[in-house]
A and B are shown apart, each in its own frame.
Chain A
Amino acid sequence: MIDLAVVNASRLQFALTALYHFLFVPLTLGLSMILVIMEAVYVMTGRDIWKRMTRFWGLLFGINFAMGVATGITMEFQFGTNWAYYSHYVGDILGAPLALEGLVAFFLEATFVGLFFFGWERLSRVGHLVVTALVALGSSLSALWVLIANAWMQHPVGAQFNPRTMRMELLSFSEVLLNPVAQAKFVHTAAAGYVVGSVFVLAVSAWYLLRGRNVDIARRSMAVAASFGLACALSVVVLGDESGYLASDNQKMKVAAIEAEWRTEEPPASFTVFGFPDVQARTTHAALRVPWLLGLIATRSIDTPVSGIVDLVARARVRIESGIEAHAALRALRANPADAAAQARFAAHQADLGYGLLLLRYVNDPSAATSRQIDEAAWSTVPNVPVLFWSFRVMVGLGLFFILLFATAFYLSARHRFEQNRWFLRIAFFSLPLPWIAAELGWIVAEYGRQPWSIDGVLPTFLGVSVTPVTNVWLSLAGFVVFYSALAVVDVYLLVRMIRRGPDGLGYWPPERAASGVP
Chain B
Amino acid sequence: MNHPGWRRTLRRELAWLMTLKIAALALLWWLFFSPAHRSPVDGRAASRRFAVAASAVSAPPPAYAREERRP
Contacts and interface: CB of A to CB of B under 8 A. Distances in A.
Interface string A356-380: 0100101111101111111000000
A-side interface size class: 35 or more
A298 to B, nearest CB: 34
Contact of B52 (A77, A165, A334, A476): A334
Main secondary structure of the interface of A (DSSP, over half): helix
B50 A369 contact: no
Given A330-B50, A334-B53, A365-B51, A371 B41 contact: no
Interface in A141-199: 164-167
B10 to A, nearest CB: 13
Contact of A363 (B42, B49, B61, B71): B61
A164 B47 CA distance: 10
Contact of A373 (B39, B49, B52, B67): B67
Contact of A1 (B61, B67, B69): B61
B41 A373 contact: no
Nearest to B54: A335
B23 interface: no
B21 to A, nearest CB: 12
A369 B68 CA distance: 9
A89 B46 contact: yes
Interface of A: 1-2, 77, 80-81, 84-85, 87-89, 164-167, 327, 330-331, 334-335, 357, 360, 362-366, 368-374, 463, 466-468, 472, 476
Nearest to B59: A364
B40 to A, nearest CB: 9
Contact of B69 (A84, A88, A366, A368): A368
Contacts of B59: 364
A474 to B, nearest CB: 14
A432 to B, nearest CB: 33
Of A330, A357, A363, A372, the most chain B CB neighbours within 10 A belong to A363
B70 interface: yes
Nearest to A328: B52
A80 B35 CA distance: 12
A85 B64 contact: no
A292 B43 CA distance: 49
B43 A167 contact: yes
Contacts of A360: 50-51
